[in-house]
Structures are given as structure tokens and as C-alpha cells.
Chains A and B, each alone.
Chain A
């Protein structure tokens, strides 16, 4: 049956059809080119100001071994959890890990649950390009913590004795301070006062390092001293401003800048929800840049900026100094003219244009200080919080479920406690009728329901204005807190970014060099068909790389090796066909007949051979780790596409050439005219030797 289909496909009715296929192949190659080299093409268009539309830029998805990063595999210990709850509690743990991971600011973190064939649950975390893996591991490893808290009604009061002590201490401090103030006013030497009252020469300070001090002395003249006591909540201070100067860093005046910015983020940047691709975002911001003036900047930001809060703050960043903004942003904003709007700047957050409102040199003040410590309630009693813990905690929660309010059908969350928890819960609700109780997860309040009555029986309902999605998320979180799944790090692979880049560069070079050798060999050995095969292999490359990008396949080193091997297989298909073609020509067939024969005869070998490779790929994909999977997938796709290029493209190119012309120049096919007419084995072997 396959032969029939092949015949229909491969024996078109005339040359017209050949040209149709040819056009199709060219379109495919061009499409492939734009997918593969979109960004290079765009750069070329920009550079020479060509009036051509931009191509959509698609990047390869690089694996950890290529861009550096970490892969962590955790095993979830589910032994303490009933079988039916295992999957959901591991999912809950996964969500918690994902949330924690999102704080690290790596692009596209992967957090997956794998259920192994042995019944183990594994959580796989991939963090591409992460710097501080040690910190990340610590953060991830924390078990989610669920707490129930009640209002801190009994805020601690100071005893009379404590109050007396505090007043005495503060009075003494004030007395000393006033004494010192009098001496200062009497123009006594400040340095000797510093010694007398254990004061301190603060040295050079600026707004960043000592905001309070600077706020007190910023309008003074050099040499001026305090005329009254300053108090910033923790004690009384007296200052002497010794000197003022402009701050320098490495000999350059240090400046602070006031600026606002407009941000257009794109998929893959930190915290982005714009849904724009990189090239769309680029187009948008380029257009905005052309429109922007200092007058309309705030309005443009309000309407367009994707930064959260841009509507209220108009993207205003206030005053800032070096080191407070990400590097590319900072480089631009400190270099640009005051009052100007910058070109487009790319950072990890997306594309920015920046309006520099003002700039000034940072002033430094040389200050001496006399300080007299005072105490307040917090110093004596310690920090007091609005909420305080109850005995009830996540380990008492049996489970949480989403349920619906029987009256209005709104989603609610049902909580069920264990025996001990039921008792605690009864006590807690008894104490707090009419008051709120807070549920904290990982230290943050996730829900603060009001208690309507004392609740017995260990069941509770959190009703609130939940959407169904929110309720489901909350239940997952609660269950992960309630069913703590201890996780254990069982595997870690970290590839430093430099090693990744080095091996990419080396391997790319090696791969290209190898392909060049293959191309040379093909052309020298097989002449014209070899050349055509090389062209069809280039088209093969364009197509397969486009497939890798669009699929998208995560490219790893093993994947690259799979690609190289698939090129080998693509060459093999061509070699099989050409050898057969030569053979058919030598046996005296006409060129057209020989081409058809060569292709149909070689097809069975190509098919059977490639099929076994495909079987191996399928097994590898099913069984193996992500690294081998990458290899198997690229090889699998490579084999499929290579069959297509060998059978359709090379054949089309060969047939489209002028037959009569080729008949006259058979040496181009590697077969010599005289010998071609004789069909004996002996002669053809000599023909073979001549070709070598």
C-alpha cells in the first residue's frame, strides 16, 4: 500500500507539478529562515534602515547545561499520608515551592511533580541562570507553615515599677542633654564635649547613610552647632557641622537623579503579565518613544506602562543614587541629559524609556554628634504584634475542602480538625466570638474570618468573597500546610554559566566544522547530486531548527548531539539514493528512469532503517531523564524531517534540472559516458575507482 501512495506522490503528472513543489520548498525554506534568524534579520533591517517589516523574534529555549543553572530533585515523604490524599498534598507542596521559587527572579522556573513507577513522588525544580543556589535550596526546603492567630487583646502594660524606671532614665538623659546644650551654646569646644559625653565623630555622612542627621544639618553653614535638641524617637542629639562638600566616587562627582520611566514588559521577564512577545513589546515601546515629550510623559506612563502601580505613581522613581537601579537602566539614566527622554533600554523587567527630571550632586556633611539615649515602651516590653499565636496550628488541620454556601451557592472553605485541634478550636472560638481569627501561611495572613459563635465538633467554614479559583488555591495551600509533606533533596545538578557558555561555543564550532567536512565530502564524491544534497541539507537544517524553536524543544548538549546525528542520517538517505542512482545509470537506464528507480528502490532501505531509529527514540523518550529525552526528541524529529528532505527536496532538485543537458554532462553525476553503456560488474567497479 505504501508503494501506491508513494507512486502517486513521487510520480507527478508533469514538469508543472515539479515546479509547484519547488516553489513550496522555497517558501518553506524562507519561512524557516525567518523563524531561525529573526533577530539577525531584524538587526540587519535596522542597521541599513531598510523599509522592510520586522520578523517575529523567537528564541531557542536553552537547557540548563547551555545557559547555566540548577536542577533540584526532591523526594516527597508521603508515608504518613493516606493514599488518596497523597497526590493533592504533593501538588500543594509543589505550589508552595513554586511561590517561593518565584521570589528568586529567575526566568521561567520549572516546578514539576513526577510520580515514579515505584510510587514515589518527586518534585523537580529547574532554575535557569540562578546565582545563589545555596539560598534557594534553603528557601525551598522550608515546610509550609500554617498558623491560627487571634487578636492580641492583652497588650502588655508596663508595671508601675517599670514606668518609674523608664521615667527616671529618660529624665536623666534629658538633664544631661540640656546640660550639654548649654555648653554647646556657650561655644565650648565640641570635640572636648564629644569626649566628655561619649559622643561620636560621624565622619562624612550623606542622605543615604544617615537620613535623620542630614535632615537636621542640611541647611547649616560649616562650623554651625545645634541650637536645640533633636529627637528622632530614640534619644536626644546635638550636632556640629564641621564641613560640607560634594561627594565623589573614584574622583568623579557622585550624583543623584530624579526620574520617571515607562515600562513595557514581555513574556519571560520578571513578573510580567502583559502577554506581549519580545518583538511586540519592542515595537510598542519604539512607537511610544517617538510620541513621548517631557509634557506628555506622565500621561503616556499612566495609559501604557505595564509596571504595577503606574497609574497612581506615573512611573515616578523619586530621587535615587547609583546602585539602587539595575545596571543597564542605571547606565542610561546617569548618562543622559537632564530633561531628556532616553532611548529604549532593556532590563530583566522589560523595555524602558526614561524621563530624567532632575539631577544634582550629592552633598556630604562632616558631622560630630552627642547622643543621649532614651527608652520607650517597646524598648522595655519588646515588640508587640496585632496578632498572637494560638495553640492551634497546621498539624491539627485534618483537611480543607472547597464547598458551596447552601444559601447563595458562593464558594466557601470547609476546615476539619483532628481531635486535639477540635478542642483547641473550640477554646479559640469561645474566646473570640465577634472578633476575627487570622490564618497565616508562611508568615502571611491568607484569610481573616470573623467568628460568629463558639464552634464545637472540629469543623469550621471560612466564608468570604472567594472566587472558585481563589477557594481552590486556598484549599491547596491549606492542605499543604495541614498535610506537611517533608521533602528531601535527593539530586542536585548545577552548571555554572561560564561552563555552559564555553561548552556551547565549543560544541557549536565543532558541530559546524563537522557539517562542513560532510558537505565537502558529499560534493567531491557525488558531484552535482552531492551539491544538490548539500542544498537540501541546508534546507533541512532551516526546517528542523525552526521546528525546534516553534515546538519548542529545550535545547541541551545532548539535544545538539541528536541533531548532528540526525544530519548524519539525512546524509545517509541521500547517499543511499545516489549510490542506487549511479547503479541504475550504469545498467544503461535513461536519466529520468534512473532517478525514479533510484529513489523508489532506496526508499525501502531508508524506511526500514529509519523506523528502527524511531523505535529507539520512542523508548528513550518514555524511559529516560530529561537530558536523554532531549536527545531522543531532536533525533526523532530529525529523522522524520530528514526523510522528507531526502525524498521530496533532493529528488525535486534533481528532476527539475534539464534532462538533455544532464545526459550530455553525466560526469556531473559521477558516471562516465562510455562506461555507463556497459553494464558488467567488472566495468562498473572500474567506474567506481575512477570516481575516487
Chain B
């Protein structure tokens, strides 16, 4: 039996500090919003043979009238370009410029193939581009969609939180002593906020140092973490609910026993899910890599908080009453 609850001051302080750091970073550095939120265009291209340098790409695009252009190398043969304009003709102009960077070659051609007719066997040389830029992905999002998404995100999170408090209060309605059932709900929410804030903190740091952007999928990941975190917390609370009537220990002791009884399960579950997700993080496609990573963070913090935050808080709240 581990004395987890008894050392609650340690756990709560660690988490408190981490949450504080995350919040400070969030408000100072902030997340790096993707075009889903800000509006704008993202173009990912790949060059067939010789890949031009970043400077060459930058140089050739200087002539096109696009705002806040950011160019990053992507993979071995490509670039990701971001700019503000979302119009189709701007997109086409950019593609044309990018295509002009492809080296050309002088090639002997049969005049007839070019629709020319020349007497005799004269061959002519023509300039031919060696391949074409492949457009891997183009996203152009209007700013109205971005603001709509921000609104929806806010609403979605609000509704999820409310629904969870109500559900937990209902599920624990028969255990109102010594802690009222709605308090289980509130603590589940506190644990959940802890998980979400820390996950956001990780992505603030990733955004600052690796340029990782958050987009619609990040919102989906956060919402999933909400669900998972509550799930995890409920498993522990469920044990408390079951043990309370038959336990001859005090509240603190009962909660500690319950945490110990469920700790193997909590760790095993998190481990298996994280294993599956880590496989996606390391080997999965580019577009869901960070989605999987945000889930890994959320699930890790969710498991941690169900053991080291939610249960200690329950005991602390009970003591506060006295």
C-alpha cells in the first residue's frame, strides 16, 4: 500500500506549479494558431528532382503580392508555404512561380510534334521543363470560418463541462456522505482542467520552439482529453463509492485504499492506450502526428491527476469542512 493521500501536499504543489507555469506561458507566449483559426492559406508542395533552396523559393515569390508569407522546408523535397490571401488566382500565381524554379533542358524535338512543318529533316531544339511541382495539399480558410470555429470551440467545451458535472453528480447521487455528490463532479472538473491546461502548456512550448500550430484537430484532442480524464477520475471515485459503506477506516484511509486498488488498472490502461498512440506519433502520417501527441499528453496527465490530484482534493475538501 502506497501512502499517496498522506503525501498530498507534495502532489498538489507539483501540479500547482506546473499549472501556473502553463498558464503564464499561455498568456505570454500563447499558442501558435493555425489557419483554421486565423484564416489564410497553407500550401504544401513537393519538387520532382532537384529541390530549390529556401532562398530561391523566397526570391521567386518576392514578385507575387502575398502578405505574411512564411516558407518552411518540409520533408526532403518539399516546402510548406503560408500566406494570408485565400483567392484562387493568388494560389495559381504562386504555383506558376514555384513551377518556374524547375530546371529546364534543351531537347531535340521532331518539328511535327510541335505542330511545325519544316522542309527536310531539320530538327529543332526546344526548352522543356523537367517535371512539375506536385501540390500535396492546399488549404485556404476564410476568416469567417476561423471566427466561427473559435465560437464553436468555446461553446463545445462549455457544454461538455456542464454535462459532465451533471452526469457525475447523478452517478454519485447515493454517496452524499461525508462529501456531497456534486463535489465529486466539481473535483472531476478541477482534475480535468489541470489535464487540459498542462496539455495546452506542452503545445505552447512546442509552438514556441518547433513551430507546431494548433488547429481544429487540437480542439478535438482537447475535448477527447476532457472525456478521458473524467473517465479515469470516475474509476477511482467509483471505488471510493463502493468502499465507503463497508470501510472501517476514516475517509482519508478509505480513499487511499481505493486509489491503491485502482492504481494498477489506471497505469495499465494509460500504458496500453499511450502505446497505441505513440506508434502513431512516431510512424503515423504527418497530419495526425500532433493530434496523437496531444492525446498522449492528455492521457498521461489524466492518469496522473486521477491518482495524485482528484483523490487528494477529495480528502482535502472533506477536511476543510471541519
Contact = CB atoms under 8 A, between A and B. Distances in A.
A514 interface: yes
Contact of B135 (A494, A560, A568): A494
A513 to B, nearest CB: 5
Interface in B152-170: 152, 155-156, 159-160, 163-164, 167-168
A359 B172 CA distance: 82
Given A494-B137, A609-B234, A561 B291 contact: yes
A604 B117 CA distance: 85
A506 B275 CA distance: 16
Nearest to B235: A605
A73 B148 CA distance: 14
A575 B269 contact: yes
B284 A565 contact: no
Nearest to A576: B265
Contact of B142 (A490, A494, A682): A490
B295 A565 contact: yes
B216 A506 contact: no
A685 B1 contact: yes
B280 A510 contact: yes
B217 to A, nearest CB: 6
B27 interface: no
Interface string A551-587: 0000001101100110111011001100100010000
Contacts of A495: 136-137
A502 interface: yes
Contact of B139 (A493, A515, A576, A608): A493
Given A609-B232, A609-B234, A517 B117 contact: no
Nearest to A499: B136
B276 interface: yes
Contacts of A525: 268
Nearest to B156: A623
A159 interface: no
Contacts of B285: 502-504, 506-507, 557
B286 A503 contact: yes
A490 B145 contact: yes
Contacts of B135: 494, 496
A571 B277 CA distance: 13
Interface in A603-647: 604-605, 608-613, 615-617, 619-620, 623-625, 627-628, 631-632, 635
B283 A491 contact: no
Please indicate which of the listed interface residues A118, A201, A631 has the most CB atoms of chain B within 10 Å of its own CB. Answer: A631
A606 to B, nearest CB: 9
Contacts of A498: 134, 136
A572 B269 contact: yes
Given A65-B287, A568-B272, A609 B145 contact: no
Given A499-B136, A616-B226, A507 B280 contact: yes
B33 to A, nearest CB: 16
B279 interface: yes
Tell me the dominant secondary structure on chain B's binding face.
helix
Contact of A517 (B112, B144, B262, B276): B276
Contacts of A631: 217, 220, 224
B282 interface: yes
Given A499-B137, A514-B276, A616-B160, A601 B232 contact: no
A628 B220 contact: yes
Tell me the dominant secondary structure on chain A's binding face.
helix
A492 B149 contact: no
A492 B43 CA distance: 11
B137 A509 contact: no
Contacts of B149: 625
A515 B217 contact: no
Interface in A476-507: 489-496, 498-499, 502-504, 506-507
Contact of B279 (A499, A513, A571, A617): A513
Contacts of A688: 264
Interface in B25-49: 44
Given A514-B278, A625-B149, A619 B159 contact: yes
B227 interface: yes
Interface string A122-145: 000000000000100100000000
B242 A624 contact: no
A564 B277 contact: yes
A514 B160 contact: no
B119 A609 contact: no
Please indicate which of the listed interface residues B163, B168, B230, B280 has the most CB atoms of chain A within 10 Å of its own CB. Answer: B280
Interface string B252-279: 0000000001101100110111011111
A492 B156 contact: no
Given A495-B136, A569-B231, 4 more contacts: A75-B144, A616-B223, A628-B219, A685-B1
Ordered nearest first, which 8 A-B pairs have the shortest CB separation?
A503-B285, A490-B142, A514-B279, A568-B273, A514-B276, A616-B227, A609-B231, A510-B283
